[in-house]
Amino acid sequence: MNQETVTAPGEPTVGTDHFRTMFPTTARGAHTARHAAERWLATHRGQREPVPTDDGMATASLLIAELTANAALHGRVQGRNARLALTLTPTTLRIEVTDARGERLPVPPLDVEADADGESGRGLLLVASLADAWGCEAYPPGGKTVWAECARRTSVRTCPGPPSGPGTTSASR
């Protein structure tokens, strides 16, 4: 698996980190790409403010897993790989998965109850509920990029202070 960090020409580099990897459109390929991305995110966690929460890391992991699995399942073209790209700024994580099946655009289910017993079909509903924004763009000459963005939520850093109790106010601490 090829991994590289790339900054596109004309793109600001201050405060922005990039991860890119190609993966075969198989379940194993999607799994491997997801774990590589998780390792990369773990090494970049907290290097810049704000510090992501564990919930934020779990959300990112779920979004990466869903988008890579969808590319392996719905975007497979014999002999063509998919690409996972992460862009991490101080305020946002953007996840992009590009595959070669531009004619198969993602459509989230309108009615969750319609096929409650089905084994699939809820992935984009999960993406829509977890991501702050998501969408799909054409990737010429015949592919597509499905993306999701998450605001980097931060944990509150507090300094230990005197215990609070009856009669204490924040001004007296």
pLDDT tens digits, 6-24: 455 554 445 789 999 999 9
Distance CA 55, CA 53 (A): 5
Dump pLDDT digits (tens) for 101-144: 999 888 766 655 555 555 566 788 889 999 999 999 999 999 99
pLDDT tens profile 24-61:
999 999 999 999 999 999 888 655 544 445 677 899 99
Whether residue 169 is predicted with pLDDT greater than 90 in this model: the reply is no
Encoded tokens for 21: 């990897």
DSSP 8-class letter at 154:
B
Candidates 83, 62, 97; CA nearest to 4 is 83
Per the rule left: phi > 0, alpha: psi between -120 and 50, beta: everything else, 90 is: alpha
Q: Distance between CA 143 and CA 8 in Å, rounded?
A: 19
CA distance 85 to 56: 18
Output the pTM of the full model. 0.74
Token look-up 């198969």 returns 104
Closest CA to 52 of 2, 89, 102: 89
- Cα 82 from Cα 27, distance rounded (Å): 12
Decide if 93 contacts 155 (C-beta within 8 A).
Answer: no
Question: Which amino acid does the sequence have at 150?
Answer: C
pLDDT tens-digit profile of 73-109? 999 998 899 999 999 998 999 999 999 999 988 876 6
